[in-house]
Amino acid sequence: MDMTIEICCDGLEKALAAEKAGADRVELCRGLTVGGLTPPRDVIRAAVAALEIPVNVLIRPRGGSFVYSPEEAGQILDDIIFCGNLREEGRRVNGVVFGALLPDGAVDITFCRQMAESARTLGLSTTFHRAIDESADIMKALDAIIGLGRIDRILTSGAASDAYSGRRRIEEMVKAAEGRSSIMAGCGVTAGNAAEIVRTTGVREIHGSRPEIIKALRG
């Protein structure tokens, strides 16, 4: 199976364990109890220096809504620039993970374009995170995100509480996005449901916090 498995890691120790378990990529963050936040810069440096597999960094300054103030937007852009300019032991950050909405639940196209263009200019891969699951209309949000033309993948649970519950909607999103962006299923992915999520949805990327899903998908 041609499958990319990304493991969400809130620290260097977990990232190293995920690499050892056979992860293809890690998403580095902190604050998983609030859905994940931007990790400290020293942790980003350490992970980039230590890991052989690609490191994507979550860019999210706080928990709660994905509607950001001008000050928060400035911090987000500064963190993207930091990641793009970082070099440690001959290695660099692979990509950044971001997203933003307007108060009405639509995608904040203006700010998302700024983030995506900044990342692309710096040679970073781009992932739109689960802000899409909080949007007012997930399929309209999907089209808006893809319309940016600069997003490599979209992480989603199909607007459900977990990816297994949202697997039919994720399947719909995969079909709608085909050839334009990769849909990555995430949230609540376990060794017990990972294979069924992949089978039903047709995703070629999956995201979870448990390295056990690697063995479940690859044996």
Note the pLDDT tens digit of each residue in 14-52: 999 999 999 999 999 999 999 999 999 999 999 999 999
Q: How far apart are CA 125 and CA 188, in angstroms?
A: 24
Q: Among 16, 3, 22, 26, which Cα is nearest to 50's?
A: 16
79-93 confidence digits (pLDDT tens): 999 999 999 888 999
Residue ranges of domains in the chain, CATH in brackets: 4-218 (3.20.20.380)
96-151 confidence digits (pLDDT tens): 999 999 999 999 999 999 999 999 999 999 999 999 999 999 999 999 999 998 89
Grouping H, G, I as helix, E, B as strand and the rest as coil, residue 28 is strand
- How does DSSP assign 116-149, residue by residue? HHHHHHTT-EEEE-GGGGGSS-HHHHHHHHHHTS
Q: How far apart are CA 92 and CA 89, in angstroms?
A: 8
Q: What is the DSSP letter of 39?
A: P
Q: What is the DSSP letter of 107?
A: B
Confirm if 24 and 59 have CB atoms less than 8 A apart: no
pLDDT of the residue at 1: 55
Grouping H, G, I as helix, E, B as strand and the rest as coil, residue 142 is helix
| Radius of gyration in angstroms for the set of CA atoms belonging to the chain, rounded to a whole number | 16
Between helix 167-177 and helix 138-147 the angle, nearest 10°, is: 30
pLDDT of the residue at 89: 85
